[in-house]
Amino acid sequence: MGLYATSAQVTAELAGHDDLELPDGAALDALVEEAQREVDRRIGPLLTSPTTGLKLAPLLLTVAQRAALVRAVAVAVGHAVLTDSEQALGTDDLIPAGFFQTRGTGLAPLIDAQLAGFDLISRSGCALPEPEPVRDVL
């Protein structure tokens, strides 16, 4: 069962895309579950709830934030439907021996675009704090 988005919400969100053939029933539910985990990976370093296994509790979010989560999950489901496993891994590309392909599937920026501006993305950052000012000791 989808917590960020239900299968019905994802189907409604993707209804205008004729090139997508969404599976029915349990297969769609499985895609929604995986898409929720993909969205969680983009949200950032928040703790995962032991009861839901997800980082956010939609009931504690605003209506706009919940709508952003639904859109992000729908984008992830649509991407999964359009991208087969060989394409995601890059195994269909002709590459020379000894060359390792490290490109992603392009999903991360699509999810980020849906979540941007709704205060849902958290980053840990690696910047050092501002140094203390140097005091004149002479």
Write down the pTM of the prediction. Answer: 0.76
Q: Exposed e or buried b for every residue in 4-34, given b needs 16+ CB within 10 A?
A: bbbbebbbebeeeeeeeebeeeeebbebbbe
The answer as to whether 96 is a domain residue is no
123 within a domain of the structure (yes/no): no
**DSSP conformation letters of 22-85:** ---HHHHHHHHHHHHHHHHHHH-SPPPPTTTSSS--GGGS-HHHHHHHHHHHHHHHHHHHHS-H
Task: Give 87's pLDDT tier (boundaries 50, 70, 90).
Answer: low
- Number of domains making up the chain: 1
Q: In terms of residue numbers, what domain contains 56?
A: 7-91+104-115
pLDDT in tens, 18-64: 888 999 999 999 999 999 999 999 998 889 999 999 999 999 999 99
Residue 53 pLDDT: 92
**Residue 127 falls within a domain, yes or no?**
no
Choose between 88 and 12: higher pLDDT. Answer: 12
pLDDT digits (tens, 9 = 90+) for 92-138: 455 555 555 555 567 888 888 899 888 888 765 666 566 677 776 66
Q: Is residue 97, in this structure, part of any structural domain at all? A: no
